[in-house]
Amino acid sequence: MKKNKEIQNIMKDKILEISGMLFARHGYKGVSLSMIAEKVGIRKASLYYYFKNKEDLYFASVERMYDELDFEISKLVAKNIDVNKKMKGVISTYIDFSIKKEKFIRAVIQNFPLRKKQNKKFDNLVKKREKIIEKIKPVIKDCLKKKANGIDLGMMAYVIMGGINIIMEDIIYSGNKDNVNSRDIANKIFMIIVKR
């Protein structure tokens, strides 16, 4: 029974990995369940064992991306290191993640299936994003020390992440992502945040 569950989890991960790559390459509308099943090496009917439909699979792929980012940020935040180094690490981790997942992130932003019936799924994604923000807030607070009084740390975290998104979009669209030095960018952002 336990072995069977492990096999199912491995297959589900494989489906999510492949579907994420396909959604990134072809967008939501350009991917069919048949296409995913073929790349995974299973019958289309087998996908329904794991996911109700293409929308469920799409949202599960996006949730998986958030979970991966959460894992990377959590690892860094848990480290017993200097808070300034930790803040720079959070920023460079987010930059590196953005580069690694660039095509998928772009596909997510451009191709979300917008329907009122999907509000609950969108709410789940927002909760995952907010979980990450909650992990970043104490790092910002420790970094800013007394300057953090009166600052909305959640808003500050969103400003940092949004700023990184804009910077990365500019770098990626100009074709310079291979030349990105995430530590250098993190140092520049850090200096803006905690300018003494």
pLDDT tens, residue by residue, 71-87: 999 999 999 999 999 99
Q: Which two tokens stand for residue 9?
A: 């989890």
> Is the pLDDT assigned to residue 196 strictly greater than 80?
no
Is the CB of residue 150 less than 8 Å from the CB of residue 80? no
**Contact of 133 with 157, CB cutoff 8 Å:** yes
How much of the chain exceeds pLDDT 90, in percent? Answer: 37
Q: Can you tell me the distance from the alpha carbon of 115 to that of 178, in angstroms, rounded to the nearest whole number?
A: 36
Confidence of residue 10 (pLDDT cuts 50, 70, 90): confident
Residues 129, 112 contacting (CB under 8 angstroms): no
Angle separating helix axes 2-26 and 54-78, nearest 10 degrees: 100
User: According to DSSP H, which parts of 112-149 are helical?
Assistant: 119-144
Token reading at 121: 């799924």
In this predicted model, which residue has the larger pLDDT, 156 or 124?
156
pTM of the model: 0.81
Contacts of 24 (CB under 8 A, 6+ apart): 103, 104, 106, 107
Range in 35-44, 59-68, 171-180, 181-190 the model is least confident about: 171-180
Place of tokens 């030349």: 179
Average pLDDT, the chain: 85
CATH architecture for segment(s) 54-193: Orthogonal Bundle (1.10)
Residue (of 129, 127, 149, 130) closest to 140 by Cα position: 149
